[in-house]
Amino acid sequence: MAKQVLVCSSCGEVHQSTTSPASICPKCRGVLLFKYDLSPVANTLSREILATRSPSFWKFIEVLPLTSSKNIVSLGEPFTPLLQFTLGRGRYSNLWLKDDGRLPTGTFKARGMAVAVSTLKELGVSQVAVPSAGNAAAALTAYGARAGMQVFVFMPNDTPPRIIDECVHMGAKVHLVDGSISAAGQAMKKYGADHNWFDVSTNKQPYRYEGYKVAAYEIAEQFSWNPPDHILFPTGGGEGVIGLWKGFQELCELGWTKHIPRLTIVQSSGCAPLVTAFYENQREVEEPWKNPNTIAVGLKVPHPYGSYLVLRAVRETKGTAIQVADEEILSSMKTLWTNGIYVCPEAASTLAALEQALTENIIANDEKILLYLTGTALKYPDPFKG
């Protein structure tokens, strides 16, 4: 609701945020981000006022791109649990978990799609489409159904069957594609010529970040406005990390927090293009990852669009990039599961990365660390069965 423009994160061109939906920068194809005039928000809203509002996602409406709260499309988005975690006989002295498996459709993707669908509805969009490794498709399907939109999803045919069923049952037109999310994106482009849908692809529109950014506000408030030193985030396309970074930047601009956590991306060694680009000092992922293969399907993004922005988020916050083998992910999953936290492989990768980082002294064990758990295990096949 704050006054806003769209700024290209690559060439810097400022675009007025108009009444038609925006995709990428028309000048250079860079990623567009909303930029708000935050001073009126800082003058009228405060941490004290926020404390009087119920702990829901939409309490931060002043910093979202919607013009009216009447257009909110909601399935009930609570603050997700923040849990202190004790593990390894005190080896982790200050470790926290954020469990986004509690959101509608069971993953953090609900955040991005809640805001994207609400804003697009306000702009008059009635058809939406996305290529997805599964969870973004389920979230778009759910919010699209709630908004009365027609939803088209394109997924690899090895997407967990329950996620495919979820999309079918909630009314999406589901297309399954041989290959990874890149092939799904190409198939969508082919069909797109005959359709009038808005493309909600990862990093190709400015709306979904605004939902992930709410996680930064939520984390800040849950930590009494003194956020953790370091956040480990399972990363595929990178929207989650970019959104968090954007949120923490805004919080500092508003004067509500004093620092931005280090943002560390975690990938599977079966598909780690961002980690490779980070260590090879590339500005963006230059080559698509060949033969991507991991049980963490959401991390199987061989050539993420707009990868320069993910790498910028990591470098500017002095985070790092870690890859973990699927066996390490499985072992961390067991650890979390046997502590009552039933997360999917993508989420468990963060604990595997932390183990590695502590062993290699990349992270000091007195840092206040948050593992961002992006989803529930309930929708995935049992990885310990044949």
Ligand X SMILES: Cc1ncc(COP(=O)(O)O)c(C=O)c1O
List residues near ligand X by CB under 6 A.
Answer: 107, 109, 133, 135-136, 202, 234-240, 298-299, 344, 346, 374-375
Give which of Zn ion, ligand X, none residue 136 binds (C-beta under 5 to 8 Å, depending on kind): ligand X
Nearer residue to ligand X within complex by CB, 10 or 105: 105
**Cα–Cα distance measured from residue 253 to residue 295, given in angstroms and rounded to the nearest whole number:** 39
Q: How far is the CB of 349 from ligand X (least distance, A)?
A: 8
- Pairing outcome for strands 127-131 and 150-156: parallel
Minimum CB distance to ligand X, residue 146 (Å): 20
**Binding of residue 306 to Zn ion (CB under 5 A):** no
Residue placing its CB nearer to ligand X in the complex, 110 or 254: 110
Q: Which residue is nearest to ligand X (CB)?
A: 298
Query: 10 or 267, CB closer to ligand X?
Result: 267
Closest CB to ligand X among residues 65, 156: 156
Report, in Å, the least distance between residue 116 CB and ligand X.
13
Q: Least separation, in Å, of the C-beta of 197 and ligand X? A: 20
Which listed option, Zn ion, ligand X, none, makes contact with residue 239 (CB within 5 to 8 Å by class)? ligand X
Give the burial string for 343-359 (b: 16+ CB within 10 Å, else e).
Answer: bbbbbbbbbbbbbbbbe
What are the Cα distances from residue 118, in Å, to 123, 146, 296?
9, 10, 29
Q: Convert residues 1-40 into a mask of x (bound to Zn ion by CB under 5 A) and - (unbound).
A: -------x-xx-x-----------x-xx-x----------
Q: Is 110 exposed, middle or buried (0-12, 13-18, 19+ CB in 10 A)?
A: buried
DSSP state of 80: P
Strands across the sheet containing 32-36: 14-16, 4-8, 32-36
Q: 53: which DSSP letter?
A: S
Q: How far apart are CA 44 and CA 200, in angstroms?
A: 32
- Neighbouring residues of 257: CB distance < 8 A, sequence distance ≥ 6: 220, 225, 226, 227, 248, 251
Q: Of 206 and 298, which CB lies nearer to ligand X in the complex structure?
A: 298
Residue closer to ligand X, measured from CB, 100 or 367: 100
Query: What is the rounded distance in angstroms from the CA atom of residue 229 to the CA atom of residue 17?
Result: 34
Residue 285 and residue 288: Cα distance in Å, rounded? 7
Q: DSSP labels for 355-375?
A: HHHHHTTSS-TTS-EEEEE-B
Q: Which does 25 bind (CB under 5 to 8 A by kind): ligand X, Zn ion, none?
A: Zn ion
Min separation Cβ 189 and ligand X, Å: 19
Closer residue to ligand X in complex, CB, 91/334: 334
Contact positions vs Zn ion (CB under 5 A): 8, 10-11, 13, 25, 27-28, 30
